[in-house]
A and B are shown apart, each in its own frame.
Chain A
Amino acid sequence: MYTFSSKLKTFSFVLMIVGILGIGYGFLTAPKTIQDVETILKAEESHEGHEAAAVNHEAKAEAQEAVANHEEVAKTVVDSTSHDTIAKAIAPVVAAKPEVATEKVVDPAKEHEEHAAHVLSQLQNKPWAALYVACIFFMLITMGALAFYAIQQVAQAGWSPVLFRVMQGITSYLLPGSIIFFIILLASGFHMNHLFIWMDEKVRATDEIIKGKAGYLNFPFWIIRATLFLTVWNLYRFFSRKNCLAQDESNDNSYYKKNFKMSAAFLVFFIVSESIMSWDWIMSVDPHWFSTLFGWYVFASFFVSGITAIQMVTLYLKSKGYLENVNSSHIHDLSKFMFGISVFWTYLWFSQFMLIWYANIPEEVTYFVMRIEHYNITFFGAVAMNFVFPILLLINTDFKRIAWIIVMAGIVILFGHYIDFFNMIMPATVGDRWFIGIPEISSLAFFLGLFIYVVFSALTKAPLVPKRNPFIEESKHFHY
């Protein structure tokens, strides 16, 4: 039996408390009114130090808005590009010019007001988005571990049964994680934030594209889907754990067979719900944009994070002497999965990016234009952390067994996939107002603390080696 070390417990509490304080700070310092934003914008202008900057700034803001804004992104881009070409093609013909000009004429005062309102909404979203990214990230890590666990059972893997209790420990975070996540979803639905622009009544009334998607993107249907998915995932987790413990005390393999069938059914449900989940909770923050392989891409991201989490917890428990049956071959296998799925993630990341970049259709490409312009460091940094670093480090067979190298790679992979989720959510919610500051780090710290606390508490509740699993002997003597 594992006993929760008091140091780790204290550490998790410290993380949670610091996290809560930081989250609170983030919410308190977010601007409340348009006046707050005006002062912020004034301060930024004077910071730039140009007298003429006001005009400049306005123009820049307009350009940014055109890219960042949810509203009529595609339209603006199409319009402006076609106008440009028209203007170039018939440059000597003056008649074309007034038409372009009339469309560009906007009342500067009104525009400034709109800009301030836009910035206010972004800044108010910032603490919410920070919370949302950290929350969905940790919840999906447990889903990655749960999917891996189900696959191991269905595949009748001979190496992994000694790690089943570790995986169950990690997936125990699914329940608290999904409850908090569900509360945040409800908060969005009840307009406490505007993470999901399609929930905004004013936008729904005027935006033709969102109107057209209202049959799918409406709050009741959306929250019912979320409830269904979270419930089924939690039920599978609960019963699979229960059967696994019952199998220990049983005289035959009936519980094992039950788990086998249940895992197979779960995997079918999971892959459908996972796709829909990724549209609902991640893609719908950009309701004007769509991508067909998005679900797979999100899956690869949290699947590799889940495997990495299993590896990290295993290494920790092993270093404390709790997993005597786990040998370097088990570690090696997990490292191979970390390596392989990292490459798989990159494959999907690149496929999504390259197809859209190559075809360059305005209604799709704004997604990446926004990210490359305003999120350059995190957008390409994620590729470096999730691909270049692990591929160079974990390609070596010997390195796949060395604990400190795996831990280093694991930390970079986990952080890289946090950044990946950050890249998916932030551009649509806070736009160019992003920063990895106190709200973001505190949210991460809070959920990390909660994750550590829940996972290691769960690990104390059952022996770390399943007793009567049909493959447990093979697994104990697994050697690669």
Chain B
Amino acid sequence: MSSNKVIHAIYNDDDVLMDAVHKTRAAHHHIEEVFTPFPVHGLDKAMGIAPTRLAICAFIYGCIGLSVATTMMNYIMIQDWPQDIGGKPSFSYIQNMPAFVPVMFEMTVFFAAHLMVITFYMRSKLWPFKKAENPDLRTTDDHFLMEVAVKGDEAELVKFFEGTGAVEVKVIDKH
């Protein structure tokens, strides 16, 4: 038994794939990865993947953006040089706050959006000139691929995946 051998079970229908994922999970085989050409609704739940925390990140980034905007404008407009511009009251931040709200809002959205996207790229390891990790070219077009680590009897595993409706089952030696 080699630890770096994986099975690539290829399907041509997302319903069959979902069914196969359920069966594989029930048989306690560890699913390494599933490659699909498009988002399959409910796949993450079926695979038992933990929910994303990106939204929580975004909320925190938004709070940071709001703080940056508030601190910046309070320093510039109220503390550093509180001049009278068209009669707007710059005695304290709250007095002139309505004028600052558009900036506060945009900065909140800007920080929340951009930092969340960057977080997403970092967490999913995406960047320009990154080498594509594509086990089979057809998975970007019309095929679905489930990668499962080989443990125990290889022939039995292949048979199991053929039974799940796979159009093709391959055993690959991964480096």
* B59 and A357 within 8 A (CB): no
A350 neighbours in B (Cβ, 8 Å): 98, 101
Q: How far is the CA of A358 from the CA of B87 in the complex (A)?
A: 10
* A397 and B55 within 8 A (CB): yes
What range describes how many residues of A lie at the interface? under 10
User: With A395-B59, A397-B55 in contact, is A357–B87 under 8 Å at CB?
Assistant: no
A354 at the interface (CB under 8 A from B): yes
* B98 and A353 within 8 A (CB): yes
Instruction: Give B35-66 interface residues, CB cut-off 8 Å to A.
Output: 55, 59
Instruction: Give B43-95 interface residues, CB cut-off 8 Å to A.
Output: 55, 59, 87
* B59 and A354 within 8 A (CB): no
Number of A-B contacts (CB under 8 A): 12
A360 at the interface (CB under 8 A from B): yes
Q: How far is the CA of A350 from the CA of B98 in the complex (A)?
A: 8
- Closest Cβ of chain A to B43, distance in Å, is 15
* A358 and B99 within 8 A (CB): yes
Using CB atoms, name the residue of chain B closest to A356: B98
Using CB atoms, name the residue of chain B closest to A398: B51
- Closest Cβ of chain B to A62, distance in Å, is 25
Q: Mark A332-357, 1 if CB is under 8 A from B, else 0.
A: 00000000000000000010011001
Using CB atoms, name the residue of chain A closest to B102: A354
- Closest Cβ of chain B to A480, distance in Å, is 11
B87 neighbours in A (Cβ, 8 Å): 360
- Closest Cβ of chain A to B160, distance in Å, is 30
Using CB atoms, name the residue of chain A closest to B42: A479
B101 neighbours in A (Cβ, 8 Å): 350, 354
Q: Mark B136-173, 1 if CB is under 8 A from A, else 0.
A: 00000000000000000000000000000000000000
Q: How far is the CA of A395 from the CA of B55 in the complex (A)?
A: 10
* B55 and A354 within 8 A (CB): no
* A358 and B98 within 8 A (CB): yes
Best-surrounded residue of A353, A357, A397 (most CB of chain B within 10 A):
A357
- Closest Cβ of chain A to B8, distance in Å, is 31
- Closest Cβ of chain A to B57, distance in Å, is 14
B55 neighbours in A (Cβ, 8 Å): 397
Q: Mark A374-402, 1 if CB is under 8 A from B, else 0.
A: 00000000000000000000010100000
Q: How far is the CA of A90 from the CA of B87 in the complex (A)?
A: 20
Q: How far is the CA of A360 from the CA of B98 in the complex (A)?
A: 12
Q: How far is the CA of A354 from the CA of B96 in the complex (A)?
A: 10
B99 neighbours in A (Cβ, 8 Å): 354, 358
B98 neighbours in A (Cβ, 8 Å): 350, 353-354, 357-358
A354 neighbours in B (Cβ, 8 Å): 98-99, 101
- Closest Cβ of chain A to B18, distance in Å, is 15
Best-surrounded residue of B55, B98, B99 (most CB of chain A within 10 A):
B98
A353 neighbours in B (Cβ, 8 Å): 98
A397 neighbours in B (Cβ, 8 Å): 55
- Closest Cβ of chain A to B140, distance in Å, is 28
Q: How far is the CA of A189 from the CA of B87 in the complex (A)?
A: 43
B59 neighbours in A (Cβ, 8 Å): 395
Using CB atoms, name the residue of chain A closest to B41: A479
- Closest Cβ of chain B to A85, distance in Å, is 12
List 12 A-B residue pairs with CB atoms under 8 Å apart, sorted by A's residue number.
A350-B98, A350-B101, A353-B98, A354-B98, A354-B99, A354-B101, A357-B98, A358-B98, A358-B99, A360-B87, A395-B59, A397-B55
**New A-B pairs, 5, CB < 8 Å, besides A354-B99, A358-B99:** A354-B98, A357-B98, A358-B98, A360-B87, A395-B59
